[in-house]
A and B are shown apart, each in its own frame.
Chain A
Amino acid sequence: EVQLVESGGGLVQPGRSMKLSCAASGFTFNNYDMAWVCQAPKKGLEWVATISYDGSSTYYRDSVKGRFTISRDNAKSTLYLQMDSLRSEDTATYYCARLRLLQWYYFDYWGQGVMVTVSS
C-alpha cells in the first residue's frame, strides 16, 4: 500500500524557515517524480514544486522560487521542502504527492498533509 506521511509543520514567524519531510513507503521511491502541493485555508489547491526521480531536476512555482527548495533522499525514501523567508501568504496545508507518468503527468497518491502557519 502506497503511503506518504508528512511531518515538520507548525507555527513559524514571518521571515523564518521551516523544513517539511514526507516519508514514503509501499512503492519504489526512486522510480517516481515527487511534488509538493499546498492549500491555503478554505482555498483551492496550488502546485508548489516538483523534483525528478533522481533529484537532478527541480521546478518551482514563481511565488516560491528562490525561497523554497525541494529535495529528496532516495536511500531514506524521503522527500523534503525547505522553506525560507516565509511569508504570511505561505500559510497553508502542504501535501506531498507522487507524480505518475503515463501519457500524462498526474498526482496519483497524496499524503494527509501538514499545516504551516506563518504568523507573528
Chain B
Amino acid sequence: DIVLTQSPALAVSLGQRATISCRASESVRSSMHWYQQKSGQQPKLLIYGASNLASGVPARFSGSGSGTDFTFTIDPVEADDIATYYCQQSRNDPYTFGAGTKLELK
C-alpha cells in the first residue's frame, strides 16, 4: 500500500500562509487530493488532481506537486479554516489517506 506522510499539526496566525506537506512512499503522479474535515463533520473535497480547485472552494486554497511530494496551501488563513486536512492518493489500490494535519491558531 502507498503510505502518505503528513505532519501531525501546524500552528498559524490568522491572515498568514499555511503550508501543509504530504509525501508519498512511491510516485502517485498527479493522483493526489486534499480534504478538509472540521470537528464533528464529514470530510469536504478541496483540491483534486494535485492542483485543481473543487467547485465552490475559495481561491485561498491551492495545491501543487507531483510524483511523491505535494503541498497544500491556505493563503491567507481565516478563522473558519481551523480543521484537519487530509491528503489522499488514487494512483494505486487501495486508495490511502494521510494521517491528517491539524491546523491550529497561534
Contacts and interface: CB of A to CB of B under 8 A. Distances in A.
Interface of A: 37, 44-47, 59, 61-62, 95, 100, 102-113
Chain A interface, DSSP helix/strand/loop, else mixed: strand
A59 B92 CA distance: 13
Which of A37, A45, A95, A103 gathers most chain B CB within 10 Å?
Answer: A45
A44 B35 CA distance: 12
A45 B54 contact: no
Given A104-B31, A104-B90, A107-B35, A44 B97 contact: yes
Nearest to B30: A104
Given A95-B42, A111-B42, A112-B42, A106 B90 contact: yes
Q: Of A44, A61, A100, which is in contact with the most chain B CB atoms at under 10 Å from its CB?
A: A44
Nearest to A35: B95
Interface stretch (B19-27, B44-52, B64-72, B73-81): B44-52
Interface string B27-60: 0001101010100011111001100001000000
B94 A106 contact: no
Given A45-B43, A47-B97, A95-B43, A105 B90 contact: yes
Which one of B42, B88, B93 has the greatest number of beta carbons of chain A within 10 Å? B42
A46 B33 contact: no
Contacts of B41: 112
Contacts of B45: 106-110
Which of A37, A105, A106, A107 has most B Cβ within 10 Å? A106
29 contacts: A44-B86, A44-B100, A45-B97, A45-B100, A46-B97, A59-B94, A62-B94, A95-B43, A100-B48, A103-B49, A104-B33, A104-B49, A106-B45, A106-B48, A106-B49, A106-B90, A107-B33, A107-B35, A107-B43, A107-B45, A108-B45, A108-B48, A108-B54, A109-B45, A110-B42, A110-B44, A111-B42, A112-B41, A112-B42
